[in-house]
Structure 1
Amino acid sequence: MPPVMPQTPHKDDLVETWSFLEDGINSVMHKLEEGVDMKHYMALYTAVHNFCTSQKAVASNQGLQAHRGGSLLRRTRSQTALSQEIYRAQHQKLIPLGLLAHLLGEELYKLLGEYLSRHLHEVHQKSLAHAEEALLTFYIREWSRYTTAAKYVNHLFSYLNRHWVKREIDEGKKNVYDVYTLHLVKWKDDFFENVHTKVMEAVLNLVEKQRNGETIEQSQIKSIVDSFVSLGLDENDSKKSTLEVYRHYFQVPFIEATRRYYENESRQFVAENSVVEYMKKAETRLEEEKARVGLYLHSDATKNLTETCLDVLVTAHSTLLRDEFQILLDNERQEDLARMYRLLSRIKEGLDPLRSTFESHVRKAGLAAIEKVSSEGENFEPKLYVDALLQVHTRYQNLVNEAFNGESEFVRSLDNACREFVNRNNICKTATTKSPELLAKYTDSLLKKGSKAAEESELEEMLVQIMTVFKYIEDKDVFQKFYSKMLAKRLVHVSSVSDDAEASMISKLKEACGFEYTNKLQRMFQDIQISKDLNTSYKDLQDKVLDDDDRKRMVDAHFQVLGTGFWPLNPPNTAFSAPPEIVKTAERFQKFYFDKHNGRKLTWLWQLCKGEVKANYIKNAKVPFTFQVSTFQMGILLLFNETDTLSYSDIQKATSLAPEVLDPNLAIFLKAKVLVASPEGAKPETGTTFSLNYNFKNKKIKVNLNIQIKSEAKVESDDTHKTIEEDRKLLLQSAIVRIMKSRKKMKHVQLVQEVIHQVKSRFPPKIADIKKNIEALMEKDYIERLDGDEISYIA
């Protein structure tokens, strides 16, 4: 038999209406899992609607009586029981119907609240029988049942929500909420406040079990967290929620318990294990806590939880970790260094002491590597020096990238250390400009023909490495000076490994130091190209004006016309009487050139010229030897076309060469046994005679005799350093004038600082040199000193 439907109460009777509603609400609260009879449910909904819209209702405690009067209510004498709105409307003869519904809705609302309080009191009494995980299970079950029922009840009272509740809230009345929110408020006030302490104790015990490695029911904690979050209500807007309840009742005790747990654990672990093992433990714990947020905590806990764990696990033991850093560096424990970096990078200023230790360590490693090179003696190869610098840099660059995640501050520490040992090391003690000089020489060896880096890609990689060292060179002007001289020789002697390699290097220098730094280098290439075109024109002309016999007698020559302002080349440092064959060829080209460029002057750089001569005089040679010689050497050898034996004086008179040039070249001929001296074993000097060696032997058909003499290289290096000093003087003076011209007046100290700022990209200027050049400009009347240590520009 279907259940008997209770009779719908009289719409004007509060007691009868509430009795009917209470019975229905009880059914929803306790028997919801059995299902809801829709007819009964609709009857409940209708009862609420009818009561709130009744035109005549009895409210015994108010003494209010309403009379039907068309669609209006007339005011009664019992004004004391009227609501404030009715009282304000007493001078209006008629009152809108909705105002009485306002009064009647309040009664239902109060009765519902009282019912919920009684219900929750019963729930609390039942909870006393449970503890720990059983309490959590009870709490979650009751919460789920209660909030589900609240949705149904809220729907039953939806008319009340839309009218009476909305009106009260709109008028700013406190402690009035929609029916669903009323359920939450009652849960918090009448049940939650009584059980939250025991609930949190149970939750924290579960979390501790999990931290100790036990398996727990994580969903229980997740459900507890969700309920705490749901209880956060905004007092000013019942439709909004806050996290205040969750933060106060859950997050605060959770964070405190976390701190206690890890303080005890870390203290004990450090006492029993190594620092490396502790770092592994700390890293694992931090990952676990991060995962815990995603598993069952609210994301709002992330910041506090992370900060607490870092404070306890890392900050509290940071000194211990930092003390281990040097040991890990010494043993190159990259994985452990990476772990230490990850931990200390997460706390404030955690890495600062590590960076300074790292910088000092790299500097010592660099100095030690250079000291090992210097122990080889003074005649070590530039490659050995540059390789030592690069090996240290590469090792610690990889460490920074892999262990320190390429962090900019560690990169800065690496750069500071490299700059220090590149510019101030054992080899640089005698000359602070040694590093750029050696780097330029090593670059020259790579870019010359015969370089071991045969593969283009390999050579390019080496050039990149050179730029790595170049970045740390402070005296970049020294590198530029040596590099430009060596480039000039490679271009003049056509000894570059390739034009592409040369262009690549210049491009890299331009990118590092700007257009001005490489301007002259690029102009040198332009001169070489112009010279190629000029030679083509010259040969075309000779083909037209010379007959076959003249062409055969003519020396096969190639000319290069180099602009004085761009090429770092000096005129010959000795007189030279060139052989007639060369003189004729030079004069013929000179005439051709002056016909094209009237008014220009040509200076022959004999010391840079070279050529080949065939030795047709040697006995038993199936194929004539070819001697590769300098022009000076050619001048000496061609003298032997007229005679087999010449004295030292004869050679000197015929060539006009200074002894410091003539003697080393004769010594090369004697060493190669092209010439023989008399008396035997005599050195090139007055009284020595020289004869052709008709029995000359060599494994090669082409014999290179054009070898740079060490004394010449030393003189050339010294001359280069002298020009550097002169260039620096001019650079400082031009910077001073440029600054003063734009500023007109400046304090002396400010001027010095500005000059340092402008020229430091080329070289680190000494303050004494700046002051000396300021005085020099004052003597030249470019600037003058005023009172108060002020300097003024003289227009």
Structure 2
Amino acid sequence: MTRLNEGMSYKKYMDLYTVSYNYCTSSRMNSGGINETLGVSGSAGRSGANLMGADLYKHLKEYFIEHLKGVRAEAADLSDEPLLRYYTREWDRYTTGASYVNRLFTYLNRHWVKREKDEGRKNVYVVYILALVMWKEHFYTALQQPPASGGNKLTAAVLKLIEKQRNGETIETDLVKKVIDSFVALGLDENDTNRQNLDVYRQAFESPFLSATDSFYSAESEQYLAANSVTEYMKKSESRLGEEESRVDLYLHASTRKGLVSKCEEVLVKNHAEIMQEEFQRLLDQEQEPDLHRMYLLLSRIPNGLDPLRERFEQHVKKAGLDSVERAVGAAAAAPADGDAKGAAAEKKESAVEPKAYVDSLLAVHKKNSELVGKAFRGDQGFVASLDRACREYVNRNKACSSPNKSPELLAKYADSLLRKSNKASEDADIEQALSDTMTVFKYIEDKDVFQKFYSKMLANRLIKDTSASEDAESSMIGKLKDACGFEYTSKLQRMFQDMQLNRDFNAGFKEKMQQTHDESELSIDFQCLVLGTSSWPLAAPTAKLNLPAELLKTKDRFEHYYMNKHSGRKLTWLWQHSRNECVESGSSLSQASALARACCSRPHRRLRTLYTPQKYFFVTSTHQACILLQFNSSGDSLSLKDIETGTGLPDETLKPILANFLKQRVLELKDGMYELNLGFKSKKIRVPLNVPIKAEQKQESADVMKHVDEDRKILIQATIVRIMKSRKTLKHQQLIAETIDQLKARFQPRVPDIKKQIDVLLDKEYLEREEGSRDNYRYLA
């Protein structure tokens, strides 16, 4: 046969193919003789052609063995890179020659080899596979025998070359790839040669390679950490991991990727995770986003590697939030209190922090850390959860929150400031963004029912005083609350807007009716009234009776007559404490030449405004203030407290704060126990607002809101317990409490003692009963 280092012409190739074909199909030889020669048992069913095929197969096998003896002899003294060069060269030549031989003996493969394999004979292969088996048995196995120095000769040479590359030296990667490809090719499945078997590759290369990888990176990481910072080590580790993944693509088998990456992660990351985790806080404090991102990527490779980071991040955000609020509180307390600012400064100090400063301090921390989670931690859900827990903690429990209900109250006041006409944000986009920021904080508020009460109260004030900046903005905010908490949460707020629309039409009808039935001289007061549904509006009936001046009483009676004709059987309750008026100071008296009163009925509400002569001061007052001032029209310029009390019908606790406000604003003067009009009153403003909120009233308002919240909570807890028991019929005490908390936590965080009290109430009302023989089980009574 042709030697491997010689060429072969097409004619010679065809001649050899023809010889092999003729030889395989020849039957001239005696079957017995051939059987004796080949050592094969005689068989009546086997033809001469079959025996000739066996003879040819045997000679091919001997030819491969003879060739490999010479190859093995030349490799005996070689090692390291020369050995690899020799091995890859001979492998290329051998597999190329085996491919040609395989095609020369196509007929042998197609008939004799196939027949032998079909009959279940072992150790019979197609010619190409036979060549690989011979390479494995007579060259590879001998080459891989452990030398005296230890380790397989061929594998050791490959590992040395890879180590050189890891140390930064340039190597011939083709040498490594070809050797590894030969390991893969030599993985032959005895039962199915068409199926790849990686046993040779794993035993000869993968296992020692992973072991060498462990040793190399263990030593390198220890040395590098001893001489460099943790951040530099992370860069090095990131680079090494990238190199190893590229190495798989360059010359390793794809199946090694998982084991190699896992080994590198263990050695480079897991073994030094604690050091990196300790560095995390410093990186957070110094806001080193790239390094934080690098640490996240590295530690995310190992099980539970990010858990300590998430815990530290949560504590970091919580501390940052508490510090931010403390700075806002400190700034408010340290505000200057000179001149006219003293009152405002005292008020700031009283409340510790104003709503805008408070909410801005919360948002600043959230925004900063939310961006960090998105960029450095790729929006990881674990870090998002840590951020949410931290925000919930510092939003609900901070230095500005003297009580658990303070945070929702301040947030409601902030939303109120955004939605008022006095808001400086003129652009719709600015208001919309500010409302979205409000909802960001709202998401973390635990007592959402407290926010609802305060927001509802402030919305009512904006609507009845016509101070809302925009109906679109109001609707947008209600829509956001509805999306967050559901329809029930905002149903009353939406009905308030419906009432306002109905009142526009109703007041237009009333004004038209009055113009038809009365002369202009009789209609000296421009009057508007808002009729508001008791169940929807958070407005309480007045506790004190008010004697209306004659100037206002006629208009009130006309409206009541008109309303009762339209809606018989309804009851109107006038809410004078919510009304507003405008009066004109005219010499020694206060004129009501023209007044606009807006009153609320049904739980009404009244607002009065008097239009005055342009050359005088116009006082914007509440109805209580207007009634006091109008007493001076009929009783002179000086009145005693008793006179004012008798004339208005207001009690001392209502009168005294109002009179104190008049004295403070120098509308009245107190001389010898008498209240006198200040005829020399001067102001830089023509339109003077006198109805400024009184601090005591604001505090009382907050207390009233919380009182209503407590009452609503009791009812809600009872309703939740009944709903649970109705579906479950019987339930243990602890399970009932747990399910009640779970269902109510979206609205507020119920206390276990409060739930127990309501269970007792329901037991007394016979909605529930304790099962006989067990005080721990409850049964629902239909």
Q: TM-score w.r.t. structure 1 length?
A: 0.88
CA contact (8 A) 2:413 2:455 kept: yes
CA contact (8 A) 2:588 2:637 kept: no
CA contact (8 A) 1:618 1:696 kept: no
The partner residue of 1:312 within 244, 254, 267 is 267
What is residue 111 of structure 1 aligned with on the other side?
Answer: 59
How far the C-alpha of 1:302 sits from its partner, in A, is: 0.7
Separation (CA, whole Å) in 2 of partners of 1:492 and 1:236? 91
Separation (CA, whole Å) in 1 of partners of 2:669 and 2:622? 19
The partner residue of 1:266 within 218, 221, 225 is 221
Structure 1 window deviating more from structure 2 (642-651 vs 352-361): it is 642-651
Structure 1 window deviating more from structure 2 (541-550 vs 149-158): it is 541-550
1:171-190 alignment, distance < 5 Å: 171-190=119-138
Question: CA offsets per residue over residues 75-125 of structure 1, 9 Å max, x none?
Answer: xxxx99533744xxxxxxxxxxxx432222111111101101111111111
Separation (CA, whole Å) in 2 of partners of 1:129 and 1:748? 85
SS of 2:170 mapped into structure 1: coil
Question: CA offsets per residue over residues 382-411 of structure 1, 9 Å max, x none?
Answer: 222222222222232222222222211111
Separation (CA, whole Å) in 1 of partners of 2:743 and 2:24? 87
Residues 331 and 81 (structure 1 numbering): CA distance in 2 closer, same or farther, change over 3 Å?
closer
Separation (CA, whole Å) in 2 of partners of 1:700 and 1:174? 113
Separation (CA, whole Å) in 1 of partners of 2:667 and 2:623? 16
- Check if 1:678 corresponds to 2:671: yes
Question: Post-superposition, which runs of at least 4 consecutive aligned residues in structure 1 deviate over 6 A?
Answer: none
The partner residue of 1:409 within 382, 385, 390 is 382
SS of 2:466 mapped into structure 1: coil
Residues 574 and 80 (structure 1 numbering): CA distance in 2 closer, same or farther, change over 3 Å?
closer
- Check if 1:755 corresponds to 2:740: yes
Question: CA offsets per residue over residues 318-374 of structure 1, 9 Å max, x none?
Answer: 122222222323333332222222111111111112222222222223233333344
The one-letter code matched in structure 1 to 2:682 is: K
What is residue 243 of structure 1 aligned with on the other side?
Answer: 198
The one-letter code matched in structure 1 to 2:469 is: V
Q: TM-score w.r.t. structure 2 length?
A: 0.89
CA contact (8 A) 2:662 2:668 kept: yes
Structure 1 window deviating more from structure 2 (376-385 vs 203-212): it is 376-385
CA contact (8 A) 2:31 2:48 kept: no
1:294-693 alignment, distance < 5 Å: 294-375=249-330, 376=333, 377-379=349-351, 380-428=353-401, 430-550=402-522, 553-617=523-587, 623-642=615-634, 644-647=636-639, 648-679=641-672, 687-691=673-677, 693=678
CA contact (8 A) 1:62 1:81 kept: no
CA contact (8 A) 2:370 2:387 kept: yes
How far the C-alpha of 1:164 sits from its partner, in A, is: 0.8
Separation (CA, whole Å) in 2 of partners of 1:473 and 1:515? 18
The one-letter code matched in structure 2 to 1:421 is: Y
Residues 100 and 547 (structure 1 numbering): CA distance in 2 closer, same or farther, change over 3 Å?
farther
The one-letter code matched in structure 1 to 2:117 is: I
CA contact (8 A) 1:618 1:695 kept: no
- Check if 1:166 corresponds to 2:114: yes
SS of 1:350 mapped into structure 2: coil
What is residue 10 of structure 1 aligned with on the other side?
Answer: none
How far the C-alpha of 1:695 sits from its partner, in A, is: 3.3
Separation (CA, whole Å) in 1 of partners of 2:103 and 2:155? 32
- Check if 1:138 corresponds to 2:108: no
Question: CA offsets per residue over residues 63-84 of structure 1, 9 Å max, x none?
Answer: 699xxxxxxxxxxxxx995337
1:63-82 alignment, distance < 5 Å: 81-82=41-42
Residues 81 and 438 (structure 1 numbering): CA distance in 2 closer, same or farther, change over 3 Å?
closer
Residues 117 and 321 (structure 1 numbering): CA distance in 2 closer, same or farther, change over 3 Å?
same
Unaligned runs of 5+ in 1: 1-22, 66-78, 87-98, 680-686
Structure 1 window deviating more from structure 2 (101-110 vs 586-595): it is 586-595
What is residue 92 of structure 1 aligned with on the other side?
Answer: none
What is residue 682 of structure 2 aligned with on the other side?
Answer: 697
Separation (CA, whole Å) in 1 of partners of 2:688 and 2:29? 130
Separation (CA, whole Å) in 1 of partners of 2:731 and 2:161? 74
The one-letter code matched in structure 2 to 1:528 is: M
How far the C-alpha of 1:622 sits from its partner, in A, is: 6.8
The one-letter code matched in structure 2 to 1:702 is: R
1:180-259 alignment, distance < 5 Å: 180-196=128-144, 197-259=152-214
The partner residue of 1:792 within 775, 779, 782 is 779
Residues 701 and 329 (structure 1 numbering): CA distance in 2 closer, same or farther, change over 3 Å?
same
- Check if 1:30 corresponds to 2:23: no
Separation (CA, whole Å) in 2 of partners of 1:637 and 1:281? 82
CA contact (8 A) 1:58 1:64 kept: no
CA contact (8 A) 1:627 1:702 kept: yes
What is residue 89 of structure 1 aligned with on the other side?
Answer: none
Structure 1 window deviating more from structure 2 (140-149 vs 195-204): it is 195-204
Separation (CA, whole Å) in 2 of partners of 1:744 and 1:633? 58
SS of 2:350 mapped into structure 1: coil
1:717-736 alignment, distance < 5 Å: 717-736=702-721
CA-based RMSD of the aligned residues comes to 2.2
Separation (CA, whole Å) in 2 of partners of 1:339 and 1:416? 24
Unaligned runs of 5+ in 2: 145-151, 334-348, 590-612
The one-letter code matched in structure 1 to 2:220 is: E
Question: CA offsets per residue over residues 533-580 of structure 1, 9 Å max, x none?
Answer: 222332333343344444xx3421222111111111101122111222
Identity %: 52
Separation (CA, whole Å) in 2 of partners of 1:768 and 1:694? 60
How far the C-alpha of 1:711 sits from its partner, in A, is: 0.8
How far the C-alpha of 1:666 sits from its partner, in A, is: 2.4
